[in-house]
Every structure is written in C-alpha cells, then in structure tokens.
C-alpha cells in the first residue's frame, strides 16, 4: 500500500512538472529533467531518456534541441500536455512498473503497446498489401475494442496503435475510445486520405490521438503503390493537421522500388517541412497470397537505410525508428508480446503485424491467456533470435525460425481467404535472408560488437535496456 501511495505521489509530481514546463520551456525543461533523473536513479523508466534529452538541451544548434522546441512552438498546448502526461506518466512510468510486475508474476512477455485492427475495410487497394485480401467484412465491435484496452491497462499497457485495413473507416468508434480511455495514448497507421477538418477538430477535442500517415516517397512512389491522387490527399491531410497544430508522423515502407527516395535527404527535409515529428520505417514483407517478393528491399538497400537513418539522427529534427535495423537498441525482435502484439480484425492474437499465425482469439481468451499461449511462449523462450541484433526477425532474418515456432505451437494461419503454409511463406524470404546475413554480420562485426553499450542503447531506448536486464 505504501508503495502504491508513493507511486501515485510521484505520478502526481510528474504531472505537475509537465504543466510547469509551459511557462518557460527553455528554462524549465532542464530543471524537470534533473528531477526525473533523481526520482528514477536506476534509469528503469524515465531516467535514461531524461539524461539523454538533458544532454541535448545544452546545445541550441543540435537537431534534437530543435525538435524538442518545435513541440512547444508547433503543437497545441493542451494536446501536448495530455500526450506528455499519458505517454510519460501512464505509459512509461506507472505502466512500466505494472508491466514489470506482471512479467515477473506470470513468467511471460507483457507488451508496452498493443497493435489492433478495428476493421479489415480500406478505401484503397495498395500493391502487395495483405489487408486487401480480407475484404471489408471483418470488424471488431466497440465493446470488443474497449475490452482489449481495459484488459491491457490492467497489465500496465497505456499505448494502443490502430492498423487495418484503414482504421479511420471507424472514425466514430476511435474517437469514442479516446474519450473513454483518456489516460491512454492512441496512434493510427493511416493512409491519411480520410483526415479532414471535422476529424482534426475531433482530435483537438480528445487530445490523445496521433496519426502516422503512410507515405511511400513522393508522388510517383506513393501513387504507384497506393493509387493515383493518394500523395496529394496525404499532403492535404498534413496541411490540415499542421494548421490545427496537431502532432503527426509518417510511416514508410521501403521496398526495392522506393528505398533510394525514402533514404534521401530531400525526402526527410520535405517531411519535416510538412510538419512530421516522427517517422517509423518498415521493410516490405511478402505476406499473403498476393504478395510481391520482387518488392523486397535488397541487402544493399537495407544497408543504405541503416546508414542514412543513423546519419540523419545527428542532423534532422525528426524522431526516427527503423523496426528492423534498430534491433540493436531493443535487443532484437520486439514482437510476440515482448514489446508489442497484434490483434487482427477477426480477433486473432498474432505475435506481429507481419506474422499471420495464431493459437488465440480475443473471443475465447483474455489478453493474458494469449500471452501465455504456446505460440507466444515460443517467442518468449527464443528471443532474441540471433546474437547479431541486426538480424532480429524470425521470418526475414533467421531462416526457418518462425516455421519451427509455428509448427511446435500448433498455431494456424489467420488468413481466412487464402491460408498460407508457414513453410511457403518462409521460402519466399530465404533468398533475402541469406543475402542480408552476409551484410548484417559484417556490419555487426565492424561496428557493433557489443550487445549493449551505455552510449548506443541508452541513447535511443534506455527504457528497453533496463527492462530487458530485469527480464
């Protein structure tokens, strides 16, 4: 009981400190950061991030300093306060402690975020997208989505990411869930074409929803994969959000067709100019019957992204994450409930948005029961899948590892229209895995011989480092 009171008081103190920042950010941010470091001396939850940000505040020419300042000049103050409170206090500090306790108690993975699909419906039909195969028929009800979030909060999960399909097909329910769970942070991977003035006003009202707009490059690359006129619709959505002083980021899938464009300085500068505050990068995965293996990025293209993103982290005022090439910072694969899991529109609980196999469904099991299921325990026992953290994925980077786990657990394909044998899926990825192995091993040997060093691990993901050590 005393510990709960202490945590509540610390949470209250952090909330007040975040409010205090707005009066004079430049002066007060260092003071608040020093206080956060003091209450989290071991760096388990917010201490390492606070130390990192504090180091940047001393150099006004630094790109990270410029990014932090832009959060105060470009973002609505009430929206910023709500997101900071939900993300830092609930998601990282209080939620992180609850997750850690649940991991220790249940001896299974407990994620930091849940990715869920409200619908399989979409207003676009993108080349190589598995979602198009499901059609517009699968939907989780408001009550089901509400139950998932409620269960998640009991485990300390306060960060929810919508995907699909196109999640904004369910605008009304998404906003209603933001209102009901106003202590959580919500993000959506969206094609951006359904963002209009009315929805932006709803975002301003709830204050805890942030879109990550999918964009494949400039007009030629985006319209090639998503359809003519999509890029202009995306630009319009960004302009609307920026005018309303709402935060947003971009989600970029790099393929054999667009990697050089996405890796270009021109592209980064353009997205920063449009107002994007973060960028999440994914490499194309040949999932589903209509997948296009020829769109897989080459080993050379993946290496290019590896170098460019690290270069831009030292010069561009935008936060970036590469969900394959950043494996070194999070000790490998983050799927299987280790840091996140995926629930599709049929309620199947999957280890990853790109791994469509499951032995659990939210209509038959709780989230905790799914985390303790054979498939998720296979992930728990086998992570990391490689000592080389630049080869984190059990499908794309480690030949046969996913197939072994799926077969051992008895998990089934969740593709209702065209069930895909896991060995067939693996076969599509083996050539790319073989080529990347050579490049990744060379990169790891030359530049990243340690599993963790305080400089690189704490720099971007100090929280994950501390939690992994505790696991």
Domain presence at residue 309 = yes
Beta strand 357-358 with 412-413: parallel, antiparallel or unpaired?
antiparallel
Q: Is 467's pLDDT higher than 50? A: no
- Could you say which of 342, 371, 400 is where a domain stops? 371
In a domain, 344, yes or no: yes
pLDDT at site 418: 85
211 and 288 in a single domain? The answer is yes
Residue 259 included in any domain: yes
Co-location of 154 and 220 in the same domain:
yes
Domain membership flag for residue 458: no
Tell me, yes or no, whether 228 and 304 share the same domain: yes
Confidence of residue 457 (pLDDT cuts 50, 70, 90): very low
What confidence tens digit (pLDDT) does each residue in 278-323 have? 999 999 999 887 788 999 999 999 999 999 999 999 999 999 999 9
Residues 230 and 318 in one domain: yes
Q: Report the CATH number that the domain containing residue 279 is assigned in CATH.
A: 3.20.20.70
Give domain status of residue 229, yes or no: yes
Using the 3D structure, point to which of 75, 99, 123 is the last residue of a domain. Answer: 99
Range of the domain at 226: 106-371
Q: What mean pLDDT do residues 172-197 have?
A: 96
CB 328 within 8 A of CB 389: yes
Residue 341 domain-assigned (yes or no): yes
Q: Give CA–CA dist 12/412, Å, rounded.
A: 45
Whether residues 305 and 182 fall in one domain: yes
CA-closest candidate to residue 185, choices 114, 127, 134, 133: 114
Q: Are residues 95 and 111 in the same domain?
A: no
pLDDT at 187: 98
C-alpha dist (Å) from residue 233 to 131, 214, 242:
21, 11, 14
- Asked if residue 115 and residue 83 are part of one domain, the reply reads no
Choose the final residue of a domain: 35, 69, 99: 99
Domain count, the chain: 2
The whole-number pLDDT of residue 229 equals: 84
Res 224: pLDDT: 78
Residues 118 and 81 in one domain: no
**Is residue 187, in this structure, part of any structural domain at all?**
yes
Count CB atoms within 10 A of the CB of residue 105: 9
Position 67 scores a pLDDT of: 92
31, part of any domain: yes
Instruction: Give 329-386 pLDDT, tens digit per residue.
Output: 899 999 999 999 999 999 999 999 999 999 999 999 999 999 999 999 999 999 999 9
Instruction: Please indicate, yes or no, whether residues 214 and 89 belong to a single structural domain of this protein.
Output: no
Is the separation of the CB atoms in 227 and 234 below 8 Å?
no
pLDDT digits (tens, 9 = 90+) for 227-246: 888 889 999 999 999 999 99
Q: Of the ranges 7-16, 158-167, 455-464, which is most confident?
A: 158-167
What tens digit of pLDDT does each residue of 370-424 get?
999 999 999 999 999 999 999 999 999 999 999 999 999 999 999 888 899 999 9
Least confidently predicted of 146-155, 203-212, 413-422: 413-422
For the cut 80, the answer to whether the pLDDT of residue 159 exceeds it is yes
pLDDT digits (tens, 9 = 90+) for 87-123: 988 988 889 989 999 999 999 999 999 999 999 877 6
Regarding whether 190 and 335 lie in a shared domain, the answer is yes
Tokens (6 digits) for 154: 């009991």
Same domain, 94 and 198: no
Gap between the Cα atoms of 95 and 97, Å rounded: 5
Instruction: Determine which helix (DSSP H) or strand (DSSP E) holds 67, and give its type and residue range.
Output: helix 63-73
pLDDT of the residue at 464: 41
In angstroms, what CA-CA distances link 238 with 181, 262, 311?
A: 26, 18, 25
Round to whole Å and give the CA distance between 464 and 339: 9
Q: What is the mean pLDDT of residues 257-270?
A: 96
């Amino acid at each position: 009981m005393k510990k709960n009171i202490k945590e509540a008081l610390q949470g209250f103190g952090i909330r007040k400190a975040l409010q205090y920042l707005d009066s004079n950010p430049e002066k007060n941010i260092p003071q608040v950061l020093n206080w956060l470091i003091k209450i989290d001396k071991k760096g388990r939850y917010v201490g390492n991030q606070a130390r990192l940000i504090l180091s940047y505040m001393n150099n006004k020419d630094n790109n990270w300093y410029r990014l932090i300042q832009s959060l105060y000049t470009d973002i609505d103050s009430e929206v910023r306060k709500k997101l900071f409170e939900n993300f830092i206090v609930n998601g990282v500090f209080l939620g992180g402690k609850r997750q850690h306790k649940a991991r220790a108690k249940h001896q299974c993975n407990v994620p930091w975020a849940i990715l869920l699909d409200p619908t399989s419906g979409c207003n676009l039909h993108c080349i190589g997208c598995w979602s198009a195969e499901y059609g517009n028929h699968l939907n989780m009800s408001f009550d089901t989505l509400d139950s998932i979030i409620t269960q998640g909060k009991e485990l300390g999960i306060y960060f929810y990411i919508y995907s699909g399909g196109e999640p904004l097909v369910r605008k009304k329910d998404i906003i209603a869930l933001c209102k009901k769970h106003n202590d959580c942070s919500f993000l959506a991977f969206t094609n951006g074409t359904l963002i209009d003035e009315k929805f932006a006003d709803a975002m301003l009202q709830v204050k805890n929803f942030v879109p990550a707009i999918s964009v494949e490059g400039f007009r030629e690359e985006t319209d090639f994969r998503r359809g003519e006129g999509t890029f202009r619709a995306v630009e319009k959505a960004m302009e609307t959000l920026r005018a309303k002083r709402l935060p947003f980021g971009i989600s970029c899938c790099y393929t054999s067709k667009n990697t050089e464009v996405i890796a270009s300085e021109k592209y980064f500068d353009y997205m920063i100019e449009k107002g994007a505050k973060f960028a999440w990068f994914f490499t194309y995965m040949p999932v589903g019957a209509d997948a296009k293996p020829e769109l897989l990025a080459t080993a050379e293209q993946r290496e290019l992204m590896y170098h460019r993103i690290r270069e831009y982290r030292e010069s561009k005022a935008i936060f970036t994450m590469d969900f394959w090439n950043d494996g070194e910072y999070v000790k490998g694969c983050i799927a299987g409930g280790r840091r996140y899991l995926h629930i599709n529109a049929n309620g199947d609980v999957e280890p990853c948005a790109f791994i469509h196999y499951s032995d659990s469904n939210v209509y038959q099991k709780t989230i905790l029961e799914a985390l303790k299921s054979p498939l998720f325990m296979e992930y728990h026992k086998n992570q990391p899948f490689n000592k080389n953290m630049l080869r984190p994925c059990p499908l794309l980077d480690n030949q046969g590892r996913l197939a072994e786990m799926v077969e051992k657990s008895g998990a089934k394909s969740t593709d209702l229209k065209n069930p895909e044998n896991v060995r067939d899926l693996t076969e599509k990825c083996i050539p790319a895995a073989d080529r990347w192995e050579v490049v990744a091993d060379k990169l790891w040997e030359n530049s990243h011989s340690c599993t963790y060093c305080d400089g690189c691990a704490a720099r971007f993901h100090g929280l994950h480092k501390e939690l992994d050590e505790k696991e």
